[in-house]
Chain A
Amino acid sequence: MNFLNGLTRREALMRAGVAVASLPVLMTLPARAQVKVDINKPGDFQPITIAIPDLLGDAQLGKQIVGVISANLQRCGYFNVLPQQAYLDKITSIDTAPNFANWRTINAQMLAVGTIARGGQGLIAQYRLFDVLTGEQRDGKQFTTTAENWRRLAHILADAIYSATTGLGGYFDSRIAFVDEAGSKQKRSKRIAVMDQDGANLRYLTADGSLVLTPRFSPQNNQLAYMQFGGDEPRVFLLDMQSGARQNLGSFPGISFAPRFSPDGARVVMSIINQDGNSSIATMDLGSRNLSRLTSGPQIDTGASFAPDGSRIVFESDRGGGQQLYVMGAGGGTPQRISFGQGRYSTPVWSPRGDLIAFTKQAAGQFALGVMRPDGQGERILTTDYHAEGPTFAPNGQVILFFKEKGPGPRLYSIDVTGRFEQMVPSPNFASDPAWGPLLA
């Protein structure tokens, strides 16, 4: 079931229907100052200029794919994709050296070229990424997949360019689950939707007219855990994203809410409201359905999130008075408080990279999104607004999705962990409670 563990992304890609192979290096020139970026270094940041001519071969598909790649790279904030009208050179083959002087003239630092062909098996794409200043080939790959996967192919190509240039893991080949909102604020209808991270391929997974909250991806990318109202008590459910089948995970007394999967997918951590009205944290083993209570006492403990190695859990608690962040072992034990700033801290989520915990912070009548290291040091506020809430990390730990609520309804926003690039994520209706899924692999 958990076949991704122990496999490289390349092997996993082949199983998922996209096969990848390396292309031979076209040439090696003596390395001069190559394009080297440290995105996370504080200070001024200049986006990397990149030229991406339409892929050779199938002209229509080549244009579509480059459109998706360019939109991804431009939106992430780290790239400035140069407009094709400015290109002086015409690429006629990806197996001969480009005329780098012509690309230097238009101030391109990087150049991505490729081909796309429809074959008997589906699509075959080849691509090479060059450092224009040195003439060095930075990456070269071949991908084969089925025709209906062309958008995923474009996302995978964008991830390859992004990773080879920044040294970071990719995230474009991933999906977002969120809550689609309709109707008046007093009687909102909420349903779970899922779409590609760029807003394409939107699909609704629960019926209209319901009230569902906080969908969270399984690490296997095939299930969502979420809270659903209706029946006698609101509860945590599991939803199979392919079949739509639901399972009640909260078939015990008390409201259950705020679910998240463990990194191995074997357990779901959630909050349970006790008879006395207080909230505590428990994990449910998905195999045995045994519940282990990790906290107890006259307080509100909620918003639990596992560290990526599964060893610890971060959560919010008002045990010391106001809402603050605490870390405890995945099996319980004495929690250590990690947040000490002015204000209330909530909705902590551990980065898949392990280096940061993102949170919502309320202070001085405003909401803010911030990050701190798991030991509580290095707190940085990324953005402040009238209402901003509910961070979720991209698979590479570099971008955070959250929602802002102003005026008639909420919208999704993304911001990178440097805080430099914030923008709205398009959604057809009001949208809240985003969850960023793993790489589709």
Chain B
Amino acid sequence: MSLSTTLNRGFRIALALAGALTLAACANTNQDQAAAGRATPGSSQDFVVNVGDRVFFTVDATDVTPEGRTTLDRQATWLRQYPRYTFTIEGHADERGTREYNIALGARRAASVRDYLISRGIEASRMRTISYGKERPVAVCNDDSCWNQNRRAVTALNNAGS
């Protein structure tokens, strides 16, 4: 049980890193991949790499998926452990919708994540939500292989430097 969780988690991190590498190639972000594995516990890097800062949604949906709930459970555990952080939940949509609707859709996704984290005991006062609609994709392509990365809600730590 504990072994399979570890394995699963390792697999998930590998996937996340692969995603990040693809992104880096597209967007020329300079994420330090090597350092990511040895992130200091309680650091924002620890949160992004070892917990997972984002959950994904199916087309036009705003309910958190079972995979998303697993990620949010880990986020809730981590956020309880490090109460010094406040955070912003950013809701995003893929490009296959109209501009105004996608703003609204992103807001619903952010609210879904907020409600879930509250249900896991995180104080509402620590979080705020925002929607970027389809304005900030992380992946650019012409099919669902990357649209599914853009349909997301990202938990962004606000005072990560402190």
Contact = CB atoms under 8 A, between A and B. Distances in A.
Interface of A: 184-188, 190, 211, 213-214, 227, 229, 232-234, 255, 257-258, 271, 273, 276-279, 300, 302-303, 316, 323, 346-347, 360, 362, 387, 389-390, 405, 432-433
Nearest to A318: B101
Nearest to A345: B98
A320 B67 CA distance: 28
B151 to A, nearest CB: 15
Closest 4 CB pairs of A and B: A277-B111, A279-B104, A300-B104, A258-B100
Contacts of B135: 188, 190, 211, 213, 229
Interface string B76-119: 00000000000000000001111111011101111110100000
Contacts of B36: none
Interface in B111-162: 111-112, 114, 128-132, 135-138, 140
Q: Which of B27, B114, B131, B137 has the most CB of A within 10 A?
A: B131
B112 A277 contact: yes
Interface residues of B, number: 31
Contact of B103 (A187, A190, A258, A278): A258
B26 interface: yes
B136 A279 contact: no
Contacts of B99: 213-214, 347, 389-390, 432-433
A302 B104 contact: yes
A181 to B, nearest CB: 10
Given A213-B135, A233-B130, A277-B129, A347 B104 contact: no
A186 B111 contact: no
Given A186-B26, A277-B107, A302 B101 contact: yes
A233 to B, nearest CB: 7
A324 to B, nearest CB: 12
A346 B140 contact: no
A281 B67 CA distance: 34
Contact of B98 (A188, A190, A389): A389
Contact of B137 (A186, A211, A432): A186
B136 A347 contact: no
Given A185-B137, A277-B112, A346-B98, A271 B27 contact: no
B95 A405 contact: yes
Contacts of A302: 100-101, 103-104
A276 B100 contact: no
Nearest to B98: A346
B27 A186 contact: yes
A188 to B, nearest CB: 7
Contacts of A387: 95-96
B136 A300 contact: no
Contacts of B136: 186-187
Contact of A360 (B98, B104, B105, B132): B98
Contacts of B62: 277
Contact of A185 (B111, B114, B140): B140
Given A187-B136, A278-B104, A390-B99, 9 more contacts: A184-B140, A213-B99, A277-B107, A277-B109, A279-B104, A302-B104, A303-B98, A346-B100, A387-B96
A187 B110 CA distance: 20
A187 B101 contact: no
A226 to B, nearest CB: 12
B148 to A, nearest CB: 15
Contacts of A184: 26-27, 140
B107 A279 contact: yes
Contacts of B111: 276-277
10 contacts: A186-B140, A229-B135, A232-B128, A273-B131, A316-B100, A346-B97, A362-B96, A387-B96, A389-B99, A390-B98
A255 B137 contact: no
Contacts of A362: 96-98
A72 B138 CA distance: 41
Q: Which of B101, B114, B136 has the most CB of A within 10 A?
A: B101
Contacts of B108: 277-278, 300
A180 to B, nearest CB: 14
Nearest to B108: A277
A215 B86 CA distance: 33
A255 B131 contact: yes
Given A277-B110, A277-B112, A387-B95, A271 B137 contact: no
